[in-house]
Structure 1
Amino acid sequence: MPETDRHIRPLLSTGAVLGDGPDAAVPAHYGAPLREQRRLLDGRAVVDLGHFEVLEVTGPDARSWMTTVTTQVLEGIPVGSSASLAVLSPQGRVEHLASAVVTAEETLLLVLDAGARAGLRRYLEMMRFAARVELTDRDDLRVLGGTAPAADVLPELDLPAPVAVWSEPWPQVAPGGVAYGPDPDDPVGAVLTVADADALAQVPWRSDHLAGMSSWEALRIADHRARAAREVDERSIPHELDLLRTTVHTTKGCYRGQETVAKVLNLGQPPRRLVMLHLDGSQDVPAAPGGEVRLGGSDGKVIGAVTSAALHADLGPIALAVVRRAVPLDAALAVEVPVSAADGETSSVWIDASQEPVVVPRDHGDRPATAKL
């Protein structure tokens, strides 16, 4: 199905309030976002990720070829294994991110963010050459998110058997990985269940079975997980977003962008760093992606921008932002929040923010393990 024709119908539309930006096709919530988030945290609800896209890679060379053209090792791992992977530019910039599941000896399923599949497929088609692989858009499949496989979360629904289940022991460092900062507090992780879309549409869903995308984003932000559609821009290198923790295998051998990964890891520091912000909620105005982050206050120097924001059931208003590396870890920050007036005019208010480091600057005496050039 052409990307422009891909239509997504929410699994449950009763009470649904659709999201915006990359999440405009699925519900942000069903009328009670914090209660939904609590159910998601407690393992009693799943999230409709119907806008996420699935690409299948099959063939005798599927795993060895994908190991060559991405940052991850997929060859030799057991069927059923999950991994995160990236495709980098020759300069080491992040171009694509995907969650991969080995579903058979010669088959991989890649789960991608909304709108990301077409670009990755174009790159893979260019790199296929003589490799014995086939690429197939799987619009017959749909993705559910949760803190456990969907069938374990909702056993009463008799859900269709999954085609794949992706998970990883976040924030544990994957083989070949390197952590660029501390582990998040009380991480809950993420599990993606991929199943037949038509069968899922026939399930008798109720609002208490589902949590909206705002709940999924709140848990992701609290877990310090970067997302392709939010945190990645044209300048991003993996070190800035702590992607070396699970997504980049630093010792596997050649891949595009490896030289930049190794040089920054062994000899330098990333120019920017991901940070989680705890926002002052007293003004009752929600932060949003794109808001400026300034040092000290509204009159301070612009040092970055908000990439994701949410209201967390336990932590209150939180956000992820990408800021300059040199910003002190204990510096007070201010975040810009656009506010629309009744006459249509837009102004900005500034809310105070404190940092929870995700990526920590390192001096020459405190470096992660080295990577091979």
Structure 2
Amino acid sequence: MRVSAPPSPLLATAGAVPGPDDTPDSTVAWHYGDPLGEQRTAEHDVGLVDRSHRSVLTITGAERLTWLHTLISQHVADLADGQSAESLLLDANGRVEQHFVLTELAGTSWLDTEAETGPALLDYLRKMVFWADAQPAAADYAVLTLLGPRAATVLAAVGLDPLPAASYAAVSLADGFVRRMPWPTAHAYDLIVPRARLAEWWQRLIAAGARPVGSWAFAALRVTALRPRLGSDTDDRTIPHEVGWIGAAAQGGAVHLDKGCYRGQETVARVHNLGKPPRRLVLLHLDGSADERPEPGTPVVAGGRAVGRLGTVVDHYELGPIALALVKRSIDPTTALTAGPAAVAIDPDSVSAEELPQAGRAAVDRLRGTGR
């Protein structure tokens, strides 16, 4: 059964249209009457997105970071005050179960994640405390996101100065914090504020010059940035390598390759050193003339054979209909593909060049006499 946040009070904003039913964004504004124009605003001016449907957790206690470090995929044991990192929880086979952003600030570790997965994440953390001095709890806080090159100007106008200068840096508010993010645009700031003051903060930021922007715009910019969303662009077989989540916090990754034991580490190390992931995340361009738009989860087909699945499907103000998709790594980017009623094509710029041979694979090849 879908777990979702209650409807946002900001849906009372003039022009707000809620997200489609049975989607993760059904409880916040999908747009405010001009979804394509809102994307331009978020990319070239300053837009404010209601992301209050995210689940926010806190962890307190003197051992919170060293304890959390043993459970998750990112290196956080020495995360400094005012720093953030993306991270994952993996299952025993290295498949992604949870994705969240972690911020360490003033003696508390803050985690924000999807509404659907927040309760399960909290339940898992509580079960794993044992004797550690760490206290995970739900927090009645909400997320707002400012996007665009004038975002810093708006934040300064409401008295938030100095602002975090580097990606994943955070500074405290009177109650909450503001965090700079490297996506979905180059100028992105998350505000984590008390849910009881959500409307107050919204009005302050709008009065300072931000324009309301829906989750449609956020999704479109996220897709072009090749940033997957847990549950929308992943499935129960997804491993981190397939969706670009490998890397240290400073690199924008969610899996540190040089940290010690955590659940699923064996798969991460094996794929990194010896093999390639079976699938990869790509940007697809969809034929806009099709009678119907394919839904997320629709198989991507080549020559009558399923070779992948659609994730987020959205209209972009410049690129038209686009989607993220997980497709088999063996598929040539020039292959003719379909998804439901629509012809689709892989954007070649979304396919990274193949990496150099892994150290482990090179060693095996040398032992077999096949390496150079």
TM class, shorter-length: 0.7 to 0.9
The 3-state SS of whatever aligns with 2:220 is helix
Count of residue pairs brought into register by the alignment: 335
Equivalent AA in structure 2 for residue 146 of structure 1: L
Tell me by how many angstroms 1:44 deviates. Answer: 1.1
CA distance in 2, matches of 1:192, 1:87: 22
Equivalent AA in structure 1 for residue 346 of structure 2: S
CA distance in 2, matches of 1:267, 1:368: 8
Please say if 1:194 is aligned against 2:207.
no
1:246-279 deviations in Å (ceiling 9; x for gaps)? 1000101111110000001101111111111022
Assess, with a 3 A threshold, how the Cα gap between structure 1 residues 315 and 153 changes in structure 2: closer, same or farther: farther
Q: Which residue of 2 aligns with 1:116?
A: 117
CA distance in 2, matches of 1:111, 1:5: 13
Q: Which residue of 1 aligns with 2:18?
A: 18
Assess, with a 3 A threshold, how the Cα gap between structure 1 residues 311 and 101 changes in structure 2: closer, same or farther: same
1:137-182 deviations in Å (ceiling 9; x for gaps)? 112x1101233696644555668756223334469xxxxxxxxxxx
1:243-254 to 2 correspondences below 5 Å = 243-245=245-247, 246-254=253-261
Q: Which residue of 1 aligns with 2:179?
A: 166
Assess, with a 3 A threshold, how the Cα gap between structure 1 residues 4 and 30 changes in structure 2: closer, same or farther: closer
Contact 2:126–2:135 (Cα < 8 Å) also in 1:
no
Which sections of structure 2, spanning at least 5 residues, go unmatched? 161-172, 248-252, 362-372
CA distance in 1, matches of 2:199, 2:294: 34
1:199-248 deviations in Å (ceiling 9; x for gaps)? 23134358962100000000000000011131121111101111103100
CA distance in 2, matches of 1:189, 1:237: 29
Q: Which residue of 2 aligns with 1:335?
A: 339
The 3-state SS of whatever aligns with 1:128 is coil
The 3-state SS of whatever aligns with 1:39 is helix
Match of 2:58 among 44, 56, 76: 56
CA distance in 2, matches of 1:143, 1:94: 23
Q: Which residue of 2 aligns with 1:301?
A: 305
Equivalent AA in structure 1 for residue 197 of structure 2: A
Q: Which residue of 1 aligns with 2:137?
A: 136
The farther-off stretch of 190-199 and 145-154 is: 145-154
Percent of aligned pairs with the same amino acid: 36
CA distance in 2, matches of 1:131, 1:358: 43
Contact 2:58–2:110 (Cα < 8 Å) also in 1:
yes
Assess, with a 3 A threshold, how the Cα gap between structure 1 residues 129 and 357 changes in structure 2: closer, same or farther: farther
Contact 1:23–1:114 (Cα < 8 Å) also in 2:
no
1:110-129 deviations in Å (ceiling 9; x for gaps)? 01012211111111112111
Assess, with a 3 A threshold, how the Cα gap between structure 1 residues 162 and 144 changes in structure 2: closer, same or farther: farther
- TM-score, structure 1 normalization: 0.81
Assess, with a 3 A threshold, how the Cα gap between structure 1 residues 212 and 192 changes in structure 2: closer, same or farther: same
Q: Which residue of 2 aligns with 1:354?
A: 346
Q: Which residue of 1 aligns with 2:163?
A: none
Q: Which residue of 1 aligns with 2:266?
A: 259
Q: Which residue of 2 aligns with 1:214?
A: 216
CA distance in 2, matches of 1:167, 1:235: 31
Equivalent AA in structure 1 for residue 339 of structure 2: V
1:289-310 deviations in Å (ceiling 9; x for gaps)? 12221115xxx32111111011
CA distance in 2, matches of 1:91, 1:210: 42
Contact 2:91–2:97 (Cα < 8 Å) also in 1:
yes
Assess, with a 3 A threshold, how the Cα gap between structure 1 residues 6 and 136 changes in structure 2: closer, same or farther: farther
Contact 1:295–1:303 (Cα < 8 Å) also in 2:
yes
Contact 1:150–1:193 (Cα < 8 Å) also in 2:
no
The 3-state SS of whatever aligns with 1:124 is helix
CA distance in 1, matches of 2:336, 2:56: 41
Please say if 1:314 is aligned against 2:292.
no
Equivalent AA in structure 2 for residue 145 of structure 1: T
Tell me by how many angstroms 1:190 deviates. Answer: 4.3
The 3-state SS of whatever aligns with 1:22 is coil
CA distance in 1, matches of 2:307, 2:260: 35
Contact 1:100–1:166 (Cα < 8 Å) also in 2:
no
Assess, with a 3 A threshold, how the Cα gap between structure 1 residues 215 and 63 changes in structure 2: closer, same or farther: same
- TM-score, structure 2 normalization: 0.81
Assess, with a 3 A threshold, how the Cα gap between structure 1 residues 190 and 293 changes in structure 2: closer, same or farther: farther
CA distance in 2, matches of 1:169, 1:201: 26
Tell me by how many angstroms 1:133 deviates. Answer: 0.9
**Alignment root-mean-square deviation, CA:** 2.8
Assess, with a 3 A threshold, how the Cα gap between structure 1 residues 41 and 161 changes in structure 2: closer, same or farther: farther
Equivalent AA in structure 1 for residue 116 of structure 2: G
Equivalent AA in structure 2 for residue 327 of structure 1: I
CA distance in 1, matches of 2:313, 2:5: 29
Q: Which residue of 2 aligns with 1:75?
A: 77
CA distance in 2, matches of 1:11, 1:76: 40
The farther-off stretch of 353-362 and 219-228 is: 353-362
CA distance in 1, matches of 2:7, 2:314: 26
Please say if 1:366 is aligned against 2:357.
yes
Assess, with a 3 A threshold, how the Cα gap between structure 1 residues 30 and 169 changes in structure 2: closer, same or farther: closer
Contact 1:94–1:234 (Cα < 8 Å) also in 2:
yes
Tell me by how many angstroms 1:368 deviates. Answer: 8.2
